[in-house]
Structure 1
Amino acid sequence: MPAVAEVLFRAVPLTAAHSFTPGIEGPAVDAAGNIYAVNFGRQQTIGVVTPQGVARELLALPGESVANGLRFGRDGTLYVADYVGHNILRVAPGGNAALPFAHEAGMTQPNDIAITADGVLYASDPDWEHNSGRVWRIDRDGTVTLAADGMGTANGIEVSPDGRTLYVNESVQRTIWAFTIQADGSLADKRLLRRFADFGMDGMRVDVDGNLYVTRHGKGSVVKLSPAGKLLREIRLPGARPSNICFGGPDGRTAYVTEVEHGRLLQFRVDRPGLEWQRLR
């Protein structure tokens, strides 16, 4: 019998509705394929979900800290954007405690995190009250440096596969910008990649070809853009407010989306692996 064609780009729920709070964000996938997302069951937590959809609480954050973006380093360290404490926290491989890694009192609220192949972090920092934002660089020793100022509401953030470009979107302004990452980690040559006429944006990730998957918060979709910003595809979701996205699965071709309206994780299959999955191999 001929093989049954795989269904691509059709989103379905992975976890039960309202298993996460409306603060569901993250997400990130470890080398074993488990998916991590924040605010599982209650605020100030990080939950872990198996590829089969079985979820549990991994840890609770200290003090008043509340997590948003998550990223894994190549060594299995989980980095956590704590937007209340103005921190980047880290969880050791196999650990269940989030410990301080970097702190910057000048941050408004570290939101999403991107990571380079050699472990340098970039964090978006939106100021929603003033519709402005910045980007910070966090070096491997925890040193924090202002990388870009004078932006709109900086939110989703990602690094291209060749490590030469940083993408940052602005939710209120509905724009995606590209920066050149220079040899010292500083940013230059800011240029417009894409502008949308309606609806905001939140998290985004690249696949191994450099295509950018962007969640359209309020529209209930994920768009796939070429490295030049061309719209390649739009994937409809069962939920109007997707907050972020990551890649995993047995071959890196499963996209996982945190979905606010129903407090759950969604999943859909894609045609090419995600970059973050490839780097954890």
Structure 2
Amino acid sequence: MPSSSSVRKANIITGGLAFGESPRWHDGRLWLCNWGTGEIVAVDEDGKREIMLTMPAVLPFSIDWLPDGRLLVVSGREGLLLRREADGTLATHADLRQLSKNPWNEIVVDGRGNVYVNGGGPAPAPGEHFGPGTIVLITPDGTVRQVAEDIAFANGMAVTPDNRTLIVAESHARRLTAFAIGEDGSLSRRRVWADLGDDFPDGICTDAEGCVWYADVPNRHCVRVREGGEKIDRVEVDRGCFACMLGGSDGRTLFILAAEWRGFENMVSDARTGQVLSIAASSPGAGWPSYTSGTRW
């Protein structure tokens, strides 16, 4: 970490969660997936929380919204992208089982309504929990196709405000990787956006200055990094950081989802060490996932 970077502590907003994942700022609250319980929860800035939806999936599952305001849920082990209708029922938006029988992980919807989901991919090697991941695209007309492959444990994704670049966390490669987004939503011109050294990026979000915040489980921190790899801010936590999201009334609050990490085999248990933390950020959120429900392209 460069000497110019700062190290700060966050405030606890709420606790007692299993594993918080896939945070999104939506309609004035932080929404998250409580892995291990099947709950989608909304939390306000004072820590009051409400269960918005309970689903059969235990983990992994992740969320984002279509431009028309309908909630999308990736049911990872089932290989389905679900859509919540106005009456509260869940309909199949896309069937991903045709592309892979392995679990799917994260989702981001860009400003044009293109949906990107990662995970899946080839079967893991013996002794491994995850094989090389892929990224699939679901276009507004419902077409499903793979647009990237060989992702080293595909985790958080974000799209820049101009809808021209998708950034994905490759946790096992310890880097953020960028793709150019074509007019048809395809991904090309793969490049390393930031080599993160000894860090393992998990969930990510982008800000108005073009930086990325990433959460890191084993190193128990969230870090703000510029393209090229310069780390300029760091928030230390006493447990693993799984994901982060910029939100709040002006987009300048960084929310962190943290929990004690006890290994993949213990992710579903009675432990409730998950927390939502917050800290002021110098630059507001930008791009997608969006901290507002404002205009999309």
- In the alignment, the residues of structure 2 paired with residue 73 and residue 227 of structure 1 have an alpha-carbon distance, to the nearest angstrom, of 28
- In the alignment, the residues of structure 1 paired with residue 163 and residue 52 of structure 2 have an alpha-carbon distance, to the nearest angstrom, of 31
Percent same amino acid among aligned pairs? 26
Tell me what 2:11 maps to.
12
Q: Does 1:34 align with 2:29?
A: yes
User: Within 5 Å, which residues of 2 pair with 1:1-281?
Assistant: 10-16=9-15, 18=16, 20-21=17-18, 23-31=19-27, 33-39=28-34, 43-62=37-56, 64=57, 66-92=59-85, 96-105=88-97, 106-107=99-100, 108-125=102-119, 129-237=129-237, 239-261=238-260, 262-275=273-286, 276-278=290-292, 280=294
**TM-score, normalised with respect to structure 1:** 0.86
Structure 1 residue 217: Cα displacement: 1.5
Structure 1 residue 164: Cα displacement: 0.9
Task: Give the partner amino acid of 1:87.
Answer: L
Structure 1: runs of 5 or more not aligned? 1-7
- In the alignment, the residues of structure 2 paired with residue 279 and residue 194 of structure 1 have an alpha-carbon distance, to the nearest angstrom, of 29
- In the alignment, the residues of structure 2 paired with residue 82 and residue 173 of structure 1 have an alpha-carbon distance, to the nearest angstrom, of 25
Aligned residues: CA RMSD: 2.3
Tell me what 2:3 maps to.
none
Structure 2: runs of 5 or more not aligned? 1-6, 261-272
Identify which range, 74-83 or 140-149, moves more after superposition.
74-83
**TM-score, normalised with respect to structure 2:** 0.82
Moved over 6 A (4+): none
Structure 1 residue 89: Cα displacement: 1.7
Aligned to 1:172, the other structure's residue is in SS state helix
Number of equivalent positions: 266
- In the alignment, the residues of structure 2 paired with residue 225 and residue 198 of structure 1 have an alpha-carbon distance, to the nearest angstrom, of 14
- Per-residue CA deviation, residues 72-129 of structure 1 (Å, 9 max, x unaligned), is 3443322222111112222347x64443211111232221112211111111216563
Higher relative contact order (CA 8 A, sep 6+): 2
- In the alignment, the residues of structure 1 paired with residue 200 and residue 129 of structure 2 have an alpha-carbon distance, to the nearest angstrom, of 16
